[in-house]
Amino acid sequence: MAVDERQLTAVQVMRDAPVIPVIVLHAVAHAVPMARALLAGGIRMLEVTLRTPQALACIEAIAREIPDAVVGAGTVRSAADARSAAAAGARFAVSPGYTPAVGQACRDLALPLLPGVATGSEIMACQEDGFEALKFFPALQAGGAAMLKAWAGPFGEIRFCPTGGITPSNAVEFLAMSNVACVGGSWLVPVDALARGDWARITQLAREAASLQRATVA
Ligand code: 3PG
């Protein structure tokens, strides 16, 4: 199924696959083969974090070279980050927390945003600004599956992407929850696999992640 660029929403970003890879790249040369490897394993929503000086160039390279991937920017912490990410070709944004300024910038840019939340007040602030597809971060440290279960009552309409401490084994528990659309994690792109150019390993990890079962999405 093709993702129509004009209609891409945060919900679509979360529904595309059971896992959104959280990617940290230190070398632009790694970006395209890494993205190809993930795509070959069935994962095309790629969150490249703005944590390295090379991140924007990596986003640009993936956006230019791999039209079948949907590259987004992670660690978006300001309106300026959102603007740089969009200019580099990012098609969605993920933030570790939420501010109305980041929300407004993403709206102005028509950049779907998955804002990070860890408390009920933060969920309410996001909802007030129209965001209902949220990243639960840091998921394990902030209460894990028990927290999501508690939120399912008062915030039943919210769909979460728990991220932070998720592994292939505990992902199963999260993905079985009715308010979880997908999970995020860095395990799909291990530092040593990148360093060795072990693209086959990344494809294998992506394939395993793509085949994880979810409760909320067929
Ligand atoms: C993130 O940056 O969103 C998280 O730190 C990823 O967490 P993980 O490395 O525990 O998957």
Ligand 1 atom with least separation from CA of 137: 3
47 is catalytic: yes
Instruction: Kindly indicate the confidence band of residue 218, based on its pLDDT and cuts at 50, 70 and 90.
Output: very low
The structure's pTM equals 0.95
149 is catalytic: no
Rounded to whole angstroms, the Cα distance separating 140 from 138 reads 6
- In this predicted model, what pLDDT tens digit does every residue of 146-176 receive, in sequence order? 999 999 999 999 999 999 999 999 999 999 9
Show Cβ contacts of residue 102 under 8 Å, excluding neighbours closer than 6 positions. 76, 77, 78, 79, 81, 82, 93, 95, 113, 115
CA of 160 from ligand 1 middle (Å) equals 15
Residue nearest to atom 6 of ligand 1 (CA): 164
Q: Which amino acid is at 70?
A: V
- In this predicted model, what pLDDT tens digit does every residue of 59-86 receive, in sequence order? 999 999 999 999 999 999 999 999 999 9
> What local confidence, expressed as pLDDT, does residue 53 receive?
98
Mean per-residue pLDDT, 106-112: 97
End-to-end Cα spacing for the chain: 14
CA of 8 from ligand 1 middle (Å) equals 24
pLDDT above 90: residue 188: yes
